Amino acid sequence: MDHDLIVLYEHPEWQKPLLAALERRGVSYGAFDLKRAAFDPDGVPAARVYFNQASPSAYVRGNARAVPLAMSLMRTLELSGARVLNGSRAFALELSKTAQAALMQQLGVAHPRTLAFNDADAALAAWEKSGGCWPALVKPEQGGSGARMYLLQAPEELPRLLRDRPEIWLPDNLLMLQEYFEVDPARGIVRMEFLNGELLYAMRVISHGAFNLCPSEVCNPEDGASMCEIPESKPAAPVEFHAYQEVPEAAVQAGLKLMAAGGLDVGGIEYLEAADGRLIFYDVNANSNLRAPIAREFGFDPFERVVDYLVSQLTV
């Protein structure tokens, strides 16, 4: 085989810290760019282990074709006997917010009421019938980086939004209405990062009203000079990330259940704290952009930990 490990990716800047850590460790690896690629189903695998780092948000960067190619390649690799970390099962869950809600329901994890739709009239009728309240969030089924998310105050705003912003149907013509929870702006939401069945670290994310909570230092650097490619997702003030040492054990256990049931080897789970004290889980991320400054507050380099895990999988 050509390499011991191949990293599947779409966003080159996000992968630089991981690839640098692999190089420091002398791992024989290749990087497969999903943006413009081809593969022969009879000619794979080319490595013992593959690590999927594709992102559902590829379409907002003009790379919509990366997602179906990533899924097709991973399914082919898995059928060919290759070990694919964060493989097709994990990626399918990340691509579907409704599947995430269904998994949370199955596991007894509190989550927002969610309605998938491809027609505004059908959505409003079903939302009213189910007792859905306003304001409510509109999200793409295949989300990512806070793109195309809107907070609507009343039902009449939905058809108006779809009329004025038809591009929000991208990439798959499937949207969601989701229950909205107000959070304490000073506390924000919590994101937990997991690796190989263990909590890596947790952090509070204070977004100042923005929906783009991407922890990548490229998208949300500490100096606030964001390079995010989603203009409408840029916050009015820099997103703040704070190490969260006292994350509740109940939250950790819920996150571990989601990771295991979803088949995620590495990933981020996000939740918010409702006014009544409930922890409401709303996002599962298989492509986890680790934030090194936060991990350093816990005493380690997160990318070295990921490389430790990847190396351990080469002998499984």
Question: pLDDT by residue (tens digit) across 171-182?
Answer: 899 999 999 999
pLDDT for residue 226: 60
pLDDT for residue 224: 64
Please state the pTM of the whole predicted model: 0.94
pLDDT for residue 222: 78
Q: Quick one: tokens of 44? A: 């794979």
Whole-angstrom Cα Rg for the chain: 19
* Confidence at 288, pLDDT banded by 50, 70, 90: confident
pLDDT at 227 over 80: no
Residues contacting 129, CB < 8 A, separation 6+: none
* Domain stop point among 46, 62, 93: 93
Closest C-alpha to 292, from 73, 16, 80: 16
- β partners of residue 85: 51
Are the CB atoms for 140 and 291 separated by under 8 Å?
A: no
* Confidence at 117, pLDDT banded by 50, 70, 90: very high
pLDDT at 5 over 60: yes
Judgement on whether residues 83 and 193 belong to the same structural domain of the protein: no
C-alpha distances (whole Å) from 1 to each of 5, 20, 40, 78 are: 10, 22, 15, 16
Task: Indicate which CATH number applies to the domain containing 306.
Answer: 3.30.470.20
HSE value, Cβ hemisphere, 13 Å, CA-based, for 144: 28
* Domain stop point among 64, 93, 122: 93
Burial of 245 (0-12, 13-18, 19+ CB in 10 A): exposed
Judgement on whether residues 255 and 289 belong to the same structural domain of the protein: yes
Task: Indicate which CATH number applies to the domain containing 58.
Answer: 3.40.50.20
* Domain stop point among 179, 204, 225: 179
Judgement on whether residues 163 and 250 belong to the same structural domain of the protein: no
Judgement on whether residues 174 and 195 belong to the same structural domain of the protein: no
Q: Into how many domains does the chain fold?
A: 3
Q: Domain span at residue 198? A: 183-313
- β partners of residue 138: 150, 177
Q: What percent of the chain has pLDDT over 90?
A: 84
pLDDT for residue 220: 83
pLDDT at 316 over 90: no
Judgement on whether residues 202 and 305 belong to the same structural domain of the protein: yes
Judgement on whether residues 170 and 195 belong to the same structural domain of the protein: no
pLDDT digits (tens, 9 = 90+) for 195-209: 999 999 999 999 887
Judgement on whether residues 121 and 75 belong to the same structural domain of the protein: no
Does 81 fall in a domain? yes
Got the DSSP string for 134-195? SSEEEEESS--TTTT-EEESSTTHHHHHHHH-GGGGTTTT-EEEEE-----TTT-EEEEEEE
Does 73 fall in a domain? yes
* Confidence at 26, pLDDT banded by 50, 70, 90: very high
Does 147 fall in a domain? yes
Rounded CA-CA distance 165/187 in Å is: 31
Closest C-alpha to 261, from 98, 107, 78: 107
pLDDT digits (tens, 9 = 90+) for 128-181: 999 999 999 999 999 777 788 999 999 999 999 999 999 999 889 999 999 999
Judgement on whether residues 160 and 271 belong to the same structural domain of the protein: no
Judgement on whether residues 302 and 192 belong to the same structural domain of the protein: yes
Judgement on whether residues 288 and 209 belong to the same structural domain of the protein: yes
Judgement on whether residues 42 and 148 belong to the same structural domain of the protein: no
pLDDT for residue 231: 53
Judgement on whether residues 210 and 146 belong to the same structural domain of the protein: no
